[in-house]
Amino acid sequence: MLEKIGVKSVDELFGQIPESLRLKQPLNLPAPLPEMEVMALMEKFAKEGEIAASKTSFLGGGINRHYLPATISALISRGEFLTAYTPYQPEASQGTLQALYEFQTYIAMLSGMDVANASLYDGATATAEAVLMARRLNKKGNTVYVSRALHPHYRQVLPTYLNDIGVVISELPFDAKTGKTVYDVEQMKDALAVVVGYPNYFGVIEDLKAAREVATKVGALLISVTTEALSLAILKPPGEFGVDIFVGEGQSFGLPPSFGGPLLGLIATKDANVRNLPGRTIVRGKDKNEKTAFCISIVTREQHKWREKATSNICTNEALCATIAGMYLTAYGKTGLANLAKQNAVKAFRLREKLAKIPGVSFPFSGNTFNEFVMRTEHSAEYILEKMSAIYDIFGGIALSTHYPLHSADILVSVTEMNTDEDMDKFVHALRRILK
Amino acid sequence: MIHADTEKLIFEQGRAGRVGVDVEGVCSLELDSALPEELRRGSLAGFPEVSEPEMVRHYTRLSQRNVGIDDTFYPLGSCTMKYNPCMNEAVAGMKGFAWLHPAMSQTETQHAFRILWELEQMLKEICGMDAFTLNPVAGAHGELTGLKVIRAAIRARGEKRDKVLIPTSAHGTNPASAMLAGFTPVNIEVNPDGSVNLEALEKVLDENVAAMMITNPSTLGLFETNIKKIADMLHAKGAFLYCDGANLNALVGITRPGDMGFDVIQTNTHKTFSTPHGGGGPGAGPVGVKSELVPFLPCPRIEKFDKEEYGKDLFVPVYGKQSIGRIHSYYGNFLVLLRAYVYLRTMGSRGLREVAEAAVLNANYLRVSLRDVGYRVAFDRPCMHECLLTDENMPKGVVTMDIAKRLIDKGFHPMTVYFPLTVHDAMLIEPTETETKETLDSYIQAMKEIMEEAKVTPELLHDAPHITPVQRVDDVEANRPKNLNLRWKG
């Protein structure tokens, strides 16, 4: 090869790099290991994690535990999906393209919106992108009103995205009794958008009808955020309430908790707003023989052509996760998914009923919930959770105190189809003992 | 890829009553107590009802209408489609990683924090940077993060700078990211060979410039030989030098962006560090910075504390006061970063150096060989990891798109086409280090055949591809507002 190229050594090919910039000594990196040893090392690490991963868990809060049908890992490990690049050459990428088009359809149907895109990074950045999109659509206001009951991490990502471009963020309080967002229309000046969880971080199903009325009154776009996508299979879809932009976290659809990533950002909107959707969308068109074919759509919007005028800087998204979500929704199908969502709701209700019988346990929020609810005891949440984990091998939930200091005794409990009746009895038993 | 007929949409398959995963129904009375009916939706109209075999066949057939690096040579320029080791996938699937919940107590996820921390140390060493954040989940997300960090540092200095200089040969995400970070992107013309025009730079460089973004090696496959000079010029004016690390694969183990004077770099694990691209993500875009910028990195960051009392190292996520804030729900794409970690543990310093050497050797072999079969090479001198062709002297009206599409017929994925924009109808070919000489030779042979066809039967190229499930797709027509079809509607 060197002869063909006409050089004496590989080193010569690096001649463009000034000598002074070349490394004079090897990098200080761990010595390379053969596959068998790396696998042994990683298995050792993984073993540490298995202890935690095997505990009875009621953790949710935006990262949801759902059973993964065996078909998914079998299909998604196919190299044709896994090792493909972004589908820039449609003739060689019809598989990815059709899978993403089907995903867009699924998300549009679930959210009750007209159109969805082919994924964003995660629910938090999708929320920020939705506000940026609202800003392109609504030139009147510059203040985004964000519910304090929205996932705290999502609320933290918003200023990171918005501060540098001058959007003002104002928080809307929640009602201490219902757990639902309260709106003071008089105070909501200069409104650009209203952002509200559905269900919110406390698991409470917000009143989107009321949110819609408020948003209309103050001249804002309404953005609803769903962190537990499975709830869409049972709750009235956001589209029915006239939400302008739906965003969500789609991790529930076939992705394990993954220590918080990769996730799957969802976004959908009305037909009229489609040209302002951030990220990539897939379109169904035709090839030159009039045969159905899919390709990346609205290319004019993408950075390749428009550079600084593009609607977003997103290029790589979460395509494989979107493909997985499509597989998951297909595997469960029309009745399976509805039944799964029902089961989640009923199981959460059952645990709540059982906990209600324990003296000292209460539920601060009266609003209806799907598969997550907030529980209160007379002790600090940290104390309860630590005991549960250390003595009973249970992850009992998430303490609200980190983000809501006034709620130091409150625990966010998530119940999914993966929690058996025995799990729930174990939880109840543990809590009884701790509270004694 | 097989020549499959149209695969029906999943929504057009199946039959009422069929189920894939069977889920027990619930008692409706109990459901009414759990969730009042007025809050519930009607049935999932439009959802398919298919059996498990139907579902498996649908996705298997879809996969057969797709091409990945596992199938064939995939030399997309500036995309670094290297082989994705199977062991990466095996590790990412382990329960002790995949089923970790970020809200688990930190004492029980120390191994995950350790991996992230160790990965940061390796990236620092490879790039010559003082710290890394692993939170960005894509290259463009990393760009945005890096620019926001620069912005925060400028603010902390009490300065106001709002221009970001970007060479016209840069990837389109650079200006888009600059806009999103609140800067005004300023295009800088490049020399014909893609290098920065120092005079042009001198002219626009003032106290209003926050940073300059440079891809090095450039998207033309050439090293920016004046890089140190450029860095000095920017630093003298108090501006930062940003490295788009898309092409880092050419440099690993040879030289380090940090040593060239770059203050920020975003890397792409799905390019340089072998994590699969998945048809467009998930990726990861770790961002490295020099010391002045460290306090502004996004949070959380994983820090190591050597505490005697614990008897071992303790890894803790920390939230810096000056941080630009959170840029992702949790710690970024952990399972992707885990794959990069596994890759680096198998490489070591020498392994990485060999990566760059083989990548550059392969690219130059293609450059000379393709030139010799009649293609016009944009720059007839040694390239780095990718070589650049143009369609300028193709016969009989054959253009870049024809060549690209014909390559599909010959069993190869096309190169990157029509990018960079500074070269006429560009064809950017990046073979990566993981291809053998035999593969390169068969690709050269295919390109040779295409050159022959261009002379004798050009219509074969204009009409290509021929053997794919669909033929040339009319994306202009598909994008007309009246045709825009983004979902199935029944």
With vertex at residue B62, the alpha carbon angle to CA B61 and CA B67, rounded to the nearest 5 degrees, is: 110
Asked if the C-beta of A43 comes within 8 angstroms of chain B's C-beta atoms, the answer is: yes
d(CA B408, CA B74): 10
With vertex at residue A104, the alpha carbon angle to CA A99 and CA A110, rounded to the nearest 5 degrees, is: 120
- Residues of A whose CB is below 8 A from B282: 261-262, 316, 318-321
Contact between A234 and A263 under an 8 Å Cβ cutoff? The reply is no
Phi-psi region of A397 (alpha: psi -120 to 50; beta: other; left: phi over 0): left
**pLDDT score recorded for residue A300:** 45
Q: Is the pLDDT of residue A194 over 60?
A: yes
Minimal C-alpha gap between A221 and chain B (Å): 21
The partner residues of B14 in beta bridges, in order of sequence, read B49
Whether residues A303 and B175 touch (CB distance < 8 A) is answered with yes
Give exposure, A209-229, as e/b (b: 16+ Cβ within 10 Å). eebbbbbeebebbbbbbbbbb
- Full set of structural domains in chain A with CATH: 71-327 (3.40.640.10), 337-435 (3.90.1150.10)
Max Cα-Cα span within chain A = 85
Q: In terms of DSSP H, where are the helices of B27-159?
A: 28-34, 52-64, 86-92, 95-98, 110-127, 139-156
Whether residues A259 and B472 touch (CB distance < 8 A) is answered with no
pTM above 0.90, yes or no: yes
Whether residues B81 and A313 touch (CB distance < 8 A) is answered with no
Minimal C-alpha gap between A188 and chain B (Å): 25
- Residues of B whose CB is below 8 A from A30: 122, 344-345, 348
Asked if the C-beta of A173 comes within 8 angstroms of chain B's C-beta atoms, the answer is: no
**pLDDT score recorded for residue A201:** 98
Q: What is the pLDDT of residues B193-244, one digit of tens each?
A: 889 999 999 999 999 999 999 999 999 999 999 999 999 999 999 999 999 9
Could you write out the DSSP letters of every residue in A321-348? HHHHHHHHHHHHHHHHHHHHHHHHHHHH
Assembly ipTM: 0.97
Contacts of B5 (CB under 8 A, 6+ apart): B469
**pLDDT score recorded for residue A315:** 87
**pLDDT score recorded for residue B421:** 86
Asked if the C-beta of A153 comes within 8 angstroms of chain B's C-beta atoms, the answer is: yes
Q: Is the pLDDT of residue A247 over 80?
A: yes
Whether residues A282 and B368 touch (CB distance < 8 A) is answered with no
Q: What is chain A's alpha carbon radius of gyration, rounded to the nearest angstrom? A: 25
Q: What is the pLDDT of residues A376-429, one digit of tens each?
A: 999 999 999 999 999 999 999 999 999 999 999 999 999 999 999 999 999 999
Portion of chain A with pLDDT greater than 90, in percent: 94
Query: What is the average per-residue pLDDT within A152-180?
Result: 96
Whether residues B408 and A89 touch (CB distance < 8 A) is answered with yes
Minimal C-alpha gap between B455 and chain A (Å): 24
Q: Which CATH number is associated with domain B350-476?
A: 3.90.1150.10
User: What confidence category does residue A354 fall into, taking pLDDT thresholds of 50, 70 and 90?
Assistant: very high
Token pair, residue A107, equals 């998300």
In chain B, list all ranges with CATH 3.40.640.10: 87-346
d(CA A397, CA A150): 18
Minimal C-alpha gap between A411 and chain B (Å): 12
In chain B, list all ranges with CATH 3.90.1150.10: 350-476
Q: What are phi and psi of B154, to 5 degrees?
A: -65, -40
Residues in chain B with pLDDT < 70? 1-4, 308-311
Minimal C-alpha gap between B433 and chain A (Å): 13
Could you write out the DSSP letters of every residue in A159-189? HHHHGGGT-EEEEEPB-TTT--B---GGG-T
CB atoms within 10 A of CB B410: 17
- Taking the CA of residue B306 as centre, how many other CA atoms within 13 Å lie in the half-sphere pointing to its CB? 0
Q: Which CATH number is associated with domain B87-346?
A: 3.40.640.10
Asked if the C-beta of A79 comes within 8 angstroms of chain B's C-beta atoms, the answer is: yes
Let me know if A263 is exposed, middle or buried by CB neighbors in 10 A (0-12, 13-18, 19+): buried
Token pair, residue B123, equals 């990236």
**pLDDT score recorded for residue A75:** 97
Asked if the C-beta of B82 comes within 8 angstroms of chain A's C-beta atoms, the answer is: no
Helix, strand and coil in chain A, % to nearest 5: 45, 15, 35
Asked if the C-beta of B403 comes within 8 angstroms of chain A's C-beta atoms, the answer is: no
Q: What is the pLDDT of residues B326-384, one digit of tens each?
A: 999 999 999 999 999 999 999 999 999 999 999 999 999 999 999 999 999 999 999 99
**pLDDT score recorded for residue B490:** 83
Asked if the C-beta of B41 comes within 8 angstroms of chain A's C-beta atoms, the answer is: yes
In this complex, which of A32, A42, A101 lies closest to B351 when CB atoms are compared?
A32
**pLDDT score recorded for residue B312:** 78
DSSP SS3 for B50: coil
- Residues of A whose CB is below 8 A from B70: 79-80, 82-83
- Residues of A whose CB is below 8 A from B40: 234-236
Query: What is the average per-residue pLDDT within A3-26?
Result: 96
**pLDDT score recorded for residue A223:** 98
Q: Measure the N-to-C terminal CA separation of chain A; round to a whole number of Å.
A: 78
Whether residues B178 and A57 touch (CB distance < 8 A) is answered with no
- Residues of A whose CB is below 8 A from B20: 69, 71, 330-333, 336
Q: Is the pLDDT of residue A171 over 90?
A: yes
Asked if the C-beta of A242 comes within 8 angstroms of chain B's C-beta atoms, the answer is: no
Q: In terms of DSSP H, where are the helices of B380-427?
A: 400-409
- Residues of B whose CB is below 8 A from A14: 254, 360
Asked if the C-beta of B78 comes within 8 angstroms of chain A's C-beta atoms, the answer is: no
Q: Which residue has the tokens 């209700």?
A: A349
Token pair, residue A103, equals 């995903």
| Chain B 189-228, residues with CB within 8 Å of chain A CB atoms | 222-223, 225, 227-228
**pLDDT score recorded for residue A301:** 47
**pLDDT score recorded for residue A302:** 58
Q: What are phi and psi of A429, to 5 degrees?
A: -60, -45
**How far, in whole angstroms, is CA A366 from its chain's centroid?**
25
